[in-house]
Structure 1
């Protein structure tokens, strides 16, 4: 008797640090359309590990905007702020493997000693604290110096060797292709900080595994970052989803819509009289 295959699971995971804009609308609609095409389910997840910027009113606005677009999802909705102990456990797994080390470098230190730029154009960490004497590490930790914990990417890759993942596109139903991951181009990224047991990279892979996410749809701006996620999945013994990278919605200057640039929100458009159909036409869905 053949085993029944689990239905595909996808997710849309916004951060509640501002109102959703057309770029978010496209990503959400794209994800729900992909789930429908695969005969699967689309989940909503709230990525609110940034306690200072995440606001309850923005969570409520996310629910309201998505319902206005005609989308629904299974309850309860996962919120990352409720899962800090789980992320800490994942970090401890990496520490037990000898792959997480304390770094005391300031931003000025990082900029002064950078060995290039990462895929997003930020200074690439030189690994200054990777080989710090254990006694000095303990002394500085006990003293309460500002600290962040980085993953030793070169050490991890030396154990793993070649790292690959599956990508489909442009349609979610296309045949998967194998792609080689190159997390070393990100250097030793920060996974934890003092008082914060997680980062975006760590939380997202833990949560995707916990929710049984089989397909990850994300913008092309996250394509390079996927290399780090695949590395963490391998190190933590988590399954790697199939990835699909969709287009970005750009403004009149050819820049990606962003909350940081105060891109017009869905709430603003609704106040102007836009309908969900107007949004779909605007983003090409």
Structure 2
């Protein structure tokens, strides 16, 4: 009984240390009615947690861009939560981007996640970078702009120093915040934060947290995003029955919570969750971390 009580006390102490934690959530636009229903159930479930903002990803084709616009406007109108569309510059002209930005501003959207975007097949050198997009957006209106950061280096970057200098250019162009690619090695993030500070990058670095709901999907994501999956994480999923989703969810929640707790002790207070349009695991993690409806 004593050890159990000590364990509860330790858990409560650990949670009490997580004061002033701020969260934000990322979604992607739905492609069919079933996915749309899942998305809005997740938005409605997570909105009472009062996140700093909810972001919506942005596809390369015009149909998905329109869906992003619609989702963003609906989130902000129906929930009152700040909505932040992703916007990419690789597949649009400057005039098109200015018009999109003006439309967002006129509809009360004040935050944008500015990205270069995936290069089309055959293109070896982008004609514009995210820093150019940040500068363009600031020329339209005084948006709060988040950009991407890569603790383990962007897959297209020739080296880590090039990647870091690119982040510095985005900050100097007017970005307010950088959201990192997901990661699992906390030391990688902390070293990246130190390198960014040494390079004179003074914008906020927000860790991107991916709650693992599907191990195979994680491996696929990690493969094309240049994210290292540590051996300890591989071992956690060894021997699990493919149909044992309950245990997999518990593992995913445990990994994410441990990461947030350690990072919080290192002074991090803002976390961005990649929800994959599912609310269950993210909501449970936030609840345990003390982020709850008011």
What TM-score does the superposition give when structure 2 sets the normalisation length?
0.30
More helix by percentage? 2
TM-score, normalised via structure 1 length: 0.31
